């Protein structure tokens, strides 16, 4: 089992979309992927065609003391989805309290699924420090930080790196973190400059850029992944490149282990 | 494997031969001088024997058959030793031929025979000497590799980049300046100078805007050489890199080239190839671009690399680096001749400095547009070399090693090919038209001496030069230029000060397909004479029943000449140049951004000034007239350029780029022409020579030449009939 957490310190950077698309891209490349939604917005499911009225999810299952398997959703995509589930405010507090008192919750739950050695888990997280983020970070082998090419994203990067340092680094199975710069539009000078600064600062850690591309939004509206919706779009190409890189790193690690 | 099996396969033999050769060369006894002298004397004696021993007809047949079979077999064996052995065989057979020609076939009895006979033998002697010098020059190309720069860039030297220009438009010079300014080198150690002998305000303003230095002088003495020398006075970099204003360097130029200067303190000049991304007139008119190696490729692919072994690489005026101190020591760029570049290298060599050649294309430019422009440029080179021959003869004077003298000698002698080439193109006519017996021997004897001489030379040269010059093409290139360079070379040789300098025009437009009657006039005359020769020859054969074998031999030669002349004439049919800016094929990853926000992955096909051709993925189409943006990449950096769709074909979409700011233009050049790997893939990758195929190609082109003459002739006739007033002919 290889666990990838998709994280960012700031909201609205396209994390959920990226998680869904990365999961699709990895699947298309031949991986078996489980996409886990750790964000109470419960929006990841929308990328996999789960009907909006469905309420089940791992959070509800956890509170009810049920096993995770029952909440898994298999839709039109070959990606297996573990939705967050709909919770009311009181339940959410209870769930978060549970997460605080059970720091190994996610790792344990994933362990019960009987996933194979080569299966991949992609975890979508809510922005910034939270019990969810902590859960995700403490079992992730790879952290994919997402940022926009703007000043705010740039300014919040140290916060995210601090969290990663606290929860990930030093763990023997941890492989490292990389940065994906999302919605890049080079026709804007600022975007171009931020990409350059980030590259200069992080060097090889910049996994790639995902171009601003209308096809991404259109694909969601048509209930398809962008990879299917427009295979020639630049965003598809960028996602495939990121997925290929992740596979290479995981394969190299798999051989070493 | 049994030993006899391994010997049967030529490439197993190659390894064995190589082992034997290495072992033989490394025998300790060669360290003794007397042994070497003795071996040399012995070898020379044997060689003299091979060359001079008289043989009966059938004995000579046996000798040449043995040599040819041996050479053909060696030709299948890989490796350098086999090549050298083929050279030895070729030299032996050709020497024997020349010895026989000089001692047994010249008659001074009848003045017609004597005049034609001596003329031909002198031409053959010239060709023989050039053949030998060529073998010497290209015996062992050095194939130098780049030396990396030291890791600490603080220790790197300062470099001035000179871009001399006189009358070329700014649009031609701009990319070169942008590329020069983009070179990977510490910013505080590089300065770009545009040496503008045209003193143009437009250039001054441009340089100021982009941060290059605009340099002018108040006179134009000594043209380009004088321009550079003037700039040397006011600049201070330790090294000077010189680029013709239309040679766009790649960003890696300095890093690739400078290492050798650090390693070799006596190195004064390093030259890289002149690579052309547009077809030269031969390639354009004969439609052989990127198929048949062009005229310059032999020089940059093989000759310069061969010169490098002997430390005799010439400076070629552009795409080169010179160390300032030695350059100043020899008085700057030479101004005594019109080939200031080669002459400067000669002066450096005389002072004991070294030169180097790096066969990696690190700059590219436009080839000369029209045949007349091409001819003009070659005339200049030829005149200049003849001038050097007179004013600073490399065979004489101090400071040069014997190999250096021989390499320079060959470079000069090369340009004297005009007259000999014309002699060969007319020699059989001496017999067919005038009945002169130019070679005093029976036709069969001539055949058994001359054919092996030519066969060996062709086979060996095809092996040595195959990647850079295909069989028989030498004849075509030389024939086209022969008439034109003959006179300037002879004039310059007699009086080095005569004649004027001409600048090669570039980037022009040929409005309409036309036939250059002016430039092809001498070949049309030769063609007529050769056709007449064929007619008379047929009469001699079938009507007058004269010496059949002699007539047939001369007719065969005449037919060969007709094909070469036909090909020369085909080269003079200028095809129409559709665009002013040449399309340069370059495949690069790109992204096309549509107005509605879609971004599509695509690939560029070609570039032209102001335009890009791209290939969109299957099923994606752009609307003509649609505004778009195209992204190009420079490693990780992405640059986006606004454009408009002007063409949507089946697999090809044409974009016209919008007006760019200097900053964008710079990025554009960096993403395209200045890429470190821009030209490397196209260098020396043409189909290797296959003599049979080359012969077929020349035959086709020769016939095309005849067809062109007929076509244009009838067109001219019609035009004349329509408009009978005088002076309304072509051009």
Hey, what are B347's tokens?
Answer: 């002066």
Give domain status of residue B636, yes or no. yes
Which of 308-337 (B) contact A at CB < 8 A?
none
Q: Which residue has the tokens 């666990």?
A: A3
- Domain holding B185, by residue range, is 153-367
Nearest chain B residue (CA) to A211: B599
Q: Tell whether the model's pLDDT for residue B375 goes beyond 70.
A: yes
A233 interface with B at CB cutoff 8 Å: yes
Alpha-carbon gap: A211 to the closest alpha carbon of chain B (Å): 8
Q: Encode pLDDT of B658-681 as tens digits.
A: 999 998 999 999 999 998 888 887
Chain A residues touching residue B599 (CB < 8 angstroms): 211-215, 233-235
- Terminal Cα-to-Cα distance of chain A (whole angstroms): 12
Residue A213 is nearest to which of B597, B617, B637, comparing CB atoms? Answer: B597
- Residue B244: CB atoms within 10 A of its CB come to 24
The answer for residues whose C-beta is within 8 angstroms of residue B555's C-beta and 6 or more apart is B428, B432, B534, B537, B538, B541
The mean per-residue pLDDT over the stretch B91-105 comes to 94
Q: Does residue B698 contact residue B558 with C-beta atoms inside 8 Å?
A: no
- For the entire predicted model, the pTM comes to 0.83
Boundary-marking domain end, from B319, B345, B367 = B367
**Distance from C-alpha of B678 to C-alpha of B16, rounded to nearest angstrom:** 39
A199 interface with B at CB cutoff 8 Å: yes
Looking up residue A106, the CATH number of its domain turns out to be: 3.40.50.300
Alpha-carbon gap: A156 to the closest alpha carbon of chain B (Å): 23
The answer for residues whose C-beta is within 8 angstroms of residue B419's C-beta and 6 or more apart is B123, B482, B486, B490
Give domain status of residue B270, yes or no. yes
The mean per-residue pLDDT over the stretch B593-612 comes to 89
Question: Among B401-405, B413-417, B581-585, B659-663, whose mean pLDDT is lowest?
Answer: B581-585
Among positive and negative, which fits the CA dihedral B54, B58, B59, B65? positive
Residue B723 pLDDT: 61
Specify burial of residue B725 (Cβ count, 10 A radius: 0-12, 13-18, 19+): exposed
* Listed ranges A128-132, A167-171, B3-7; the one with the highest mean pLDDT: A128-132
Which of A187, A210, A219, A227 best probes binding to B when mutated, by most B CB atoms within 10 angstroms? A187
**Distance from C-alpha of B573 to C-alpha of B282, rounded to nearest angstrom:** 10
SS3 of residue B557 by DSSP: helix
**Distance from C-alpha of A202 to C-alpha of B422, rounded to nearest angstrom:** 68
| Res. B17 pLDDT band, cuts 50 70 90 | confident
Residue B509 pLDDT: 42
Alpha-carbon gap: B455 to the closest alpha carbon of chain A (Å): 56
Residue A234 is nearest to which of B591, B636, B642, comparing CB atoms? Answer: B591
Residue B91 pLDDT: 97
Which letter does DSSP use for residue B214 in this model?
Answer: E
The answer for residues whose C-beta is within 8 angstroms of residue B714's C-beta and 6 or more apart is none
Alpha-carbon gap: A181 to the closest alpha carbon of chain B (Å): 13
Nearest chain A residue (CA) to B642: A187
The answer for residues whose C-beta is within 8 angstroms of residue B274's C-beta and 6 or more apart is B247, B296, B300, B316, B318, B319, B363, B365
Q: Tell whether the model's pLDDT for residue A227 goes beyond 80.
A: yes
Question: Among A110-114, A236-240, B350-354, B613-617, whose mean pLDDT is lowest?
Answer: A110-114
- Quote the strand ranges of B440-504, DSSP E: none
Nearest chain B residue (CA) to A200: B636
What does chain A come to in residues? 257
Phi then psi dihedrals of residue B634, to 5 deg: -125, 100
**Distance from C-alpha of B382 to C-alpha of B391, rounded to nearest angstrom:** 14
Residue B10 pLDDT: 62
B600 interface with A at CB cutoff 8 Å: yes
From the list B581, B560, B415, the residue with the least C-alpha distance to B475 is B560
Alpha-carbon gap: A187 to the closest alpha carbon of chain B (Å): 6
Q: Encode pLDDT of B498-537 as tens digits.
A: 765 444 444 444 444 556 667 778 888 999 999 999 999 9
Percentage with pLDDT > 70 across chain B: 93
- Terminal Cα-to-Cα distance of chain B (whole angstroms): 70
DSSP assignment of B375-393 equals HHHHHHHHHHHHHHHHHS-
Residue B598 is nearest to which of A187, A215, A237, comparing CB atoms? Answer: A215
Q: Tell whether the model's pLDDT for residue A38 goes beyond 80.
A: yes
Among positive and negative, which fits the CA dihedral B413, B414, B416, B422? positive
Put simply, the answer to whether B640 touches A214 (Cβ < 8 Å) is no
| Res. A204 pLDDT band, cuts 50 70 90 | confident
Hey, what are B619's tokens?
Answer: 């099923």
The answer for residues whose C-beta is within 8 angstroms of residue B405's C-beta and 6 or more apart is B394, B395
Which of B596, B599, B620 best probes binding to A when mutated, by most A CB atoms within 10 angstroms? B599
A136 interface with B at CB cutoff 8 Å: no
SS3 of residue B505 by DSSP: coil
Chain B residues touching residue A206 (CB < 8 angstroms): 636
Residues of B with active-site annotation: 197, 341
**Distance from C-alpha of B40 to C-alpha of A235, rounded to nearest angstrom:** 72
Put simply, the answer to whether A212 touches B599 (Cβ < 8 Å) is yes
The mean per-residue pLDDT over the stretch B619-633 comes to 92
Q: Tell whether the model's pLDDT for residue B187 goes beyond 90.
A: yes
Torsion of CA B274, B279, B283, B284, to 10 degrees: -160
Q: Tell whether the model's pLDDT for residue B4 goes beyond 70.
A: no
From the list B641, B599, B643, the residue with the least C-alpha distance to B625 is B643
The count of structural domains within chain A is 1
Question: Among A31-35, B18-22, B195-199, whose mean pLDDT is lowest?
Answer: B18-22
Alpha helical stretches, state H, B544-585: 548-571
Put simply, the answer to whether B599 touches A211 (Cβ < 8 Å) is yes
Q: What is the interface size between A and B, counted as CB pairs within 8 Å?
A: 49
Chain A residues touching residue B591 (CB < 8 angstroms): 211, 234
Give domain status of residue B634, yes or no. yes
Chain A residues touching residue B601 (CB < 8 angstroms): 232-234, 236-237
Taking the mean position of all CA atoms in its chain, how far away is CA B397? 29
A213 interface with B at CB cutoff 8 Å: yes
**Distance from C-alpha of B181 to C-alpha of B172, rounded to nearest angstrom:** 16
Residue B499 pLDDT: 60
Question: Among A23-32, B287-296, B558-567, whose mean pLDDT is lowest?
Answer: B287-296
Q: Does residue B597 contact residue A214 with C-beta atoms inside 8 Å?
A: yes
From the list B352, B406, B367, B402, the residue with the least C-alpha distance to B284 is B367
Give domain status of residue B226, yes or no. yes
Residue B198 pLDDT: 93
From the list B532, B483, B472, the residue with the least C-alpha distance to B702 is B472
| Res. A257 pLDDT band, cuts 50 70 90 | low
Put simply, the answer to whether A186 touches B601 (Cβ < 8 Å) is no
Looking up residue B604, the CATH number of its domain turns out to be: 2.40.10.220
Q: Does residue A136 contact residue A143 with C-beta atoms inside 8 Å?
A: no
The mean per-residue pLDDT over the stretch B196-203 comes to 95
Phi then psi dihedrals of residue A109, to 5 deg: -60, -45
The count of structural domains within chain B is 2
**Distance from C-alpha of A154 to C-alpha of A201, rounded to nearest angstrom:** 11
Q: What's the number of CA atoms in the CB half-sphere (13 Å) around residue A195? A: 22
Hey, what are B29's tokens?
Answer: 């006894």
**Distance from C-alpha of B592 to C-alpha of A81, rounded to nearest angstrom:** 34
| Res. B425 pLDDT band, cuts 50 70 90 | very high
What angle in degrees, to the nearest 10, is found between the helix axes of B170-181 and B662-671?
A: 70
| Interface predicted TM-score (ipTM) over 0.90 | no
| Residue B709 vs residue B96, higher pLDDT | B96
Q: Tell whether the model's pLDDT for residue B576 goes beyond 60.
A: no
Put simply, the answer to whether B598 touches A213 (Cβ < 8 Å) is yes
Alpha helical stretches, state H, B53-169: 57-75, 80-104, 111-137
A234 interface with B at CB cutoff 8 Å: yes
Residue B500 pLDDT: 56
The mean per-residue pLDDT over the stretch A229-244 comes to 92
Looking up residue B235, the CATH number of its domain turns out to be: 3.90.550.10
B661 interface with A at CB cutoff 8 Å: no
A183 interface with B at CB cutoff 8 Å: no
Residue B636 is nearest to which of A199, A213, A232, comparing CB atoms? Answer: A199
Put simply, the answer to whether A184 touches B638 (Cβ < 8 Å) is yes
Give domain status of residue B382, yes or no. no
Q: Does residue B640 contact residue A187 with C-beta atoms inside 8 Å?
A: yes
Q: Encode pLDDT of B30-69 as tens digits.
A: 889 999 999 999 999 999 999 999 999 999 999 999 999 9
**Distance from C-alpha of B217 to C-alpha of B176, rounded to nearest angstrom:** 21
**Distance from C-alpha of B624 to C-alpha of B644, rounded to nearest angstrom:** 8
Alpha-carbon gap: A239 to the closest alpha carbon of chain B (Å): 12
A130 interface with B at CB cutoff 8 Å: no
B620 interface with A at CB cutoff 8 Å: yes
Specify burial of residue B339 (Cβ count, 10 A radius: 0-12, 13-18, 19+): buried
| Residue A146 vs residue B680, higher pLDDT | A146
**Distance from C-alpha of B87 to C-alpha of B83, rounded to nearest angstrom:** 6
The mean per-residue pLDDT over the stretch B408-420 comes to 92
Give domain status of residue B289, yes or no. yes
Percentage with pLDDT > 90 across chain A: 56
Q: Which residue has the tokens 């340099």?
A: B215
| Res. A196 pLDDT band, cuts 50 70 90 | confident
Nearest chain A residue (CA) to B628: A187
- Domain holding A61, by residue range, is 2-256
A241 interface with B at CB cutoff 8 Å: no
Put simply, the answer to whether A232 touches B637 (Cβ < 8 Å) is no
**Distance from C-alpha of B418 to C-alpha of B386, rounded to nearest angstrom:** 12
Mean pLDDT score across all residues of chain B: 88
| Res. B615 pLDDT band, cuts 50 70 90 | very high
Give domain status of residue B335, yes or no. yes
Give domain status of residue B107, yes or no. no
Chain B residues touching residue A236 (CB < 8 angstroms): 601
């Amino acid at each position: 089992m290889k666990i990838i957490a998709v994280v960012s310190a700031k909201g609205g950077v396209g994390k959920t979309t990226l998680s869904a698309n990365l999961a699709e891209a990895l699947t298309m490349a031949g991986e078996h992927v489980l996409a886990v939604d750790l964000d109470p917005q419960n929006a990841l499911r929308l990328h996999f065609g789960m009907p909006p009225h469905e309420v089940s999810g791992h959070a509800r299952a956890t509170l009810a003391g049920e096993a995770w398997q029952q909440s898994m959703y298999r839709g039109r995509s070959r990606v297996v989805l573990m939705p967050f589930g709909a919770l009311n405010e009181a339940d959410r507090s209870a769930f978060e309290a549970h997460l605080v008192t059970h720091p190994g919750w996610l790792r344990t739950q994933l362990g019960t699924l009987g996933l194979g050695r080569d299966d991949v888990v992609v975890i979508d997280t809510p922005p910034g420090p939270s019990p969810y983020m902590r859960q995700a970070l403490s079992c992730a082998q790879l952290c994919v930080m997402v940022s926009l090419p703007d000043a705010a994203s740039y300014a919040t990067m140290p916060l995210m790196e601090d969290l990663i340092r606290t929860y990930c680094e030093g763990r023997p199975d941890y492989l490292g973190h990389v940065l994906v710069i999302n919605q890049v539009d080079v026709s804007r000078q600022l975007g171009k400059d931020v990409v350059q600064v980030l590259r200069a600062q992080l060097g090889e850690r910049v996994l790639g850029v995902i171009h601003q591309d209308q096809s991404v939004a259109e694909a969601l509206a048509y209930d398809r992944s962008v990879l299917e919706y427009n295979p020639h779009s630049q965003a598809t190409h960028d996602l495939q490149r990121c997925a290929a890189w992740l596979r290479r790193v995981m394969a190299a690690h798999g051989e070493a282990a | 494997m049994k030993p006899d099996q391994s010997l049967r396969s030529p490439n197993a033999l190659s390894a064995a031969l190589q082992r034997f050769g290495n072992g033989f060369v490394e025998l300790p006894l060669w360290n003794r001088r007397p042994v070497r002298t003795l071996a040399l004397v012995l070898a020379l004696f044997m060689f003299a024997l091979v060359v001079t021993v008289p043989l009966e007809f059938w004995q000579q047949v046996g000798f040449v058959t043995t040599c040819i079979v041996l050479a053909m077999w060696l030709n299948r064996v890989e490796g350098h030793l086999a090549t050298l052995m083929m050279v030895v065989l070729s030299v032996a057979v050709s020497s024997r031929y020349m010895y026989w020609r000089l001692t047994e076939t010249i008659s001074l009895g009848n003045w017609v025979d004597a005049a034609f006979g001596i003329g031909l033998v002198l031409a053959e002697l010239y060709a023989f000497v050039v053949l030998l010098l060529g073998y010497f020059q290209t015996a062992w190309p050095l194939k130098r590799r780049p030396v990396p720069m030291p890791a600490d860039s603080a220790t790197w030297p300062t470099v001035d980049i000179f871009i001399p220009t006189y009358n070329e438009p700014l649009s031609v010079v701009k990319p070169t300046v942008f590329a020069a300014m983009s070179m990977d080198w510490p910013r505080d150690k590089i300065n770009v100078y545009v040496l503008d002998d045209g003193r143009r305000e437009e250039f001054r303003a441009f340089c100021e805007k982009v941060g290059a230095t605009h340099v002018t002088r108040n006179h134009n003495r000594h043209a380009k050489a004088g321009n550079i020398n003037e700039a040397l006075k006011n600049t201070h970099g330790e090294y000077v890199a010189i680029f013709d204003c239309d040679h766009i360097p790649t960003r890696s130029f300095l890093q690739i080239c400078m290492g050798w200067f650090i390693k070799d303190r006596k190195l004064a000049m390093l030259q890289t190839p002149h690579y052309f991304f547009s077809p030269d007139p031969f390639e354009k008119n004969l439609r052989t671009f990127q198929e048949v190696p062009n005229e310059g490729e032999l020089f940059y692919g093989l000759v310069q690399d061969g010169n490098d072994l002997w430390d005799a690489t010439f400076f070629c005026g552009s795409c080169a680096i010179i160390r300032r101190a030695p350059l100043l020591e020899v008085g700057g760029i030479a101004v005594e001749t019109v080939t200031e570049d080669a002459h400067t290298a000669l002066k450096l060599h005389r002072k004991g400095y070294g030169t180097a050649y790096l066969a990696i294309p690190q700059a590219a430019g436009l080839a000369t547009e029209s045949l007349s422009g091409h001819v003009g440029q070659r005339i200049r080179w030829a005149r200049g070399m003849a001038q050097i021959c007179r004013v600073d003869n490399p065979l004489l004077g101090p400071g040069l090693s014997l190999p250096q003298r021989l390499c320079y000698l060959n470079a000069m002698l090369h340009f004297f090919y005009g007259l000999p080439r014309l002699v060969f193109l007319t020699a059989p006519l001496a017999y067919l038209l005038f009945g002169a017996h130019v070679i005093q021997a029976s036709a069969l004897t001539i055949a058994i001496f001359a054919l092996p001489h030519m066969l060996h030379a062709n086979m060996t040269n095809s092996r040595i030069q195959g990647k850079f010059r295909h069989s028989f093409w030498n004849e075509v290139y030389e024939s086209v230029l022969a008439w034109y360079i003959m006179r300037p070379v002879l004039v310059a040789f007699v009086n080095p000060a005569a004649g004027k300098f001409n600048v090669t025009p570039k980037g022009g437009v040929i409005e309409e397909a036309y036939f250059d009657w002016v430039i092809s006039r001498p070949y049309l005359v030769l063609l007529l004479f050769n056709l007449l020769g064929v007619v008379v020859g047929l009469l001699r054969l079938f009507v007058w029943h004269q010496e059949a074998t002699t007539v047939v031999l001369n007719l065969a030669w005449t037919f060969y000449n007709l094909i070469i002349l036909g090909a020369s004439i085909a080269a003079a049919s200028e095809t129409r140049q559709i665009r002013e800016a040449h399309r340069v094929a370059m495949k690069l990853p790109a992204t096309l951004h549509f107005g509605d926000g879609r971004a599509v992955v695509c690939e560029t096909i070609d570039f032209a000034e102001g335009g890009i051709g791209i290939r969109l993925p299957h099923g994606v189409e752009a609307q003509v007239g649609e505004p778009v943006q195209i992204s190009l990449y420079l490693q990780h950096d992405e640059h986006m350029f606004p454009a408009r769709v002007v063409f949507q074909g089946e697999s090809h979409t044409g974009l016209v780029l919008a007006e760019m700011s200097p900053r964008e233009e710079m990025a554009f050049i960096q993403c395209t022409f200045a890429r470190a790997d821009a030209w490397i893939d196209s260098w020396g990758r043409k189909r290797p020579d296959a003599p049979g195929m080359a012969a077929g190609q020349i035959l086709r082109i020769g016939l095309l030449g005849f067809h062109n003459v007929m076509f244009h002739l009838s067109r001219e006739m019609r035009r004349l009939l329509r408009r009978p007033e005088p002076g309304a002919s072509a051009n």
